[in-house]
Structure 1
Amino acid sequence: MLIIQLSRCWGPLGKRCPSSQCASKRGKFASRCKCSAGWTALADCIFDAPGLDRTRSVTDAYLFISSSISLLSLIKPQLDANVQEAIYRNILAYDKVFPLRCYGNNSFIHYLNGHFQNFSEFLTLKDTILQIPSNQLLEVLNSINPSELADLLSRPGFIDDNKILIRLLTYYRSVQNLVTFIDDFNQKSQDSQLTDDNRAAILEVLWFHFTTVLSDLNDTDVEEWLNVRLQPYLLFITTDLLASNNTLTIQCLPYRKM
């Protein structure tokens, strides 16, 4: 079935056209050329979600898309960067029609890697969060263990929206162990080229957590927080954080610890 649909989308597989035709006669020739335009046209046709919705059940449509992603993932090394990006964008567009299709309380990270396959390298924080319906956010975050989240956020270039990062970590601390996450993340993100804004956003969440639990910490714990856990971020502390209600309401003894 997949091969039949690919043939409809692309015409005779393997047919080559002169590069000049690919460049100058998009439409009639581009969909039959083994060049960037041809691959892009193929991807656009495969991910024509409205067309799929009219002719197939939701389950059949999803199975077809999954098979198509698997096939395109196998040939990804042969495609140029623009075509790879176009395929990734098509997957995102399809996911807007069927968000979290066939995701069921298992690890969300495993779901992402299985769904996007070799195209998961294009994932960003904003694209990832936009796939999750707001009423399922806590459920999804609860499925991600601290090590998995550290892996995801430490991918080079993954963090592309600091407001979303703050929101994510704020929600995450309510369902998972934030301390385990940040210890793991600090090790994995040493070479991930975090921006100053990234570090400031992370500090905002960590500082709130630290000042909340400070009164329960012993001297060794406080030293670990200040000299190890928060160390990569303290350069970006602001007067707003120091003058926040959380900080100003700390009792004298724990404040001296800090």
Structure 2
Amino acid sequence: MAEKFLVPVSLPSWLCNSARRVKRAFIPPASPTSRVNIWGERHVEWTFLSSQMPCGPGEAIEFGCEDGFMSLVAAQRGFHVLANDLLEQTFVWQHPNVEFRKGDFLKLTFPRNHFDLAINCSSVEHVGVAGRYGIEVNQDDGDLQVMHRLVEIVKPGGLLLMTAPCGQDAVLAPWCRVYGSQRLPKLLQCFKIERDEYWSKNRKNQWVQCSQETALNFQSQHDRLDPHKCTYALGCFALRKIRNSLTPEEPKNLSPGAS
């Protein structure tokens, strides 16, 4: 079988520039929409979560901490932070007020009504979708179970800061869920929305703020080989635990806070 090799060739600058002009003339650049993806989502998420985070002291937990960026922000704000992830993580920093605990969030033991602050940066949408982050078994309601667990361990009146993919309800297997008008109210049902923001990509592949209606009606695009080539909108939420939280069987309508 023949193999193809790409060999770099040095050309004079005048010839290289001429070749580029010829290429652009015969092979026009791809349209902006073909390049739209989710790259840069963490810029939107981290800035929202940081802007809504109060100052400590207090107890905080981050579910799905990954590299621990938001855990470090919380520690710098004066919280003692329990950073949890399903996979082993090696932080590039060390802080005396951050403790890492590896394991399945739904199987670990946490005290009830204990945490003043919970952080969930685009993590809940992966729970129960097998194929990524060490998740091996599909669970239709895994994400709802995580939210119910969070409401159990957060203090009455405590704060949950979270982000999640939004759009028309869908599962982009094996990557994540996308939350629309059907599932998002179920996800947030045990909390009061104090602030919400919604973002989507424009044709230049830039994140721009949009209305809730635009975000929840966004038609996501699925790429089975690369999660970063998928496309969806984003929802960012500051949620307060209500003292008499609803049970998971009693969904309520979305009541957005200031947007």
Is this a same-fold pair by TM over 0.5? no
Q: Which has the higher contact order (CA 8 A, sep 6+)?
A: 2
Question: Counting strand residues as a fraction of each chain, which structure ranks higher?
Answer: 2
Question: Counting helix residues as a fraction of each chain, which structure ranks higher?
Answer: 1
TM-score, normalised to structure 1's length? Answer: 0.28
Of structures 1 and 2, the larger Rg is shown by 1
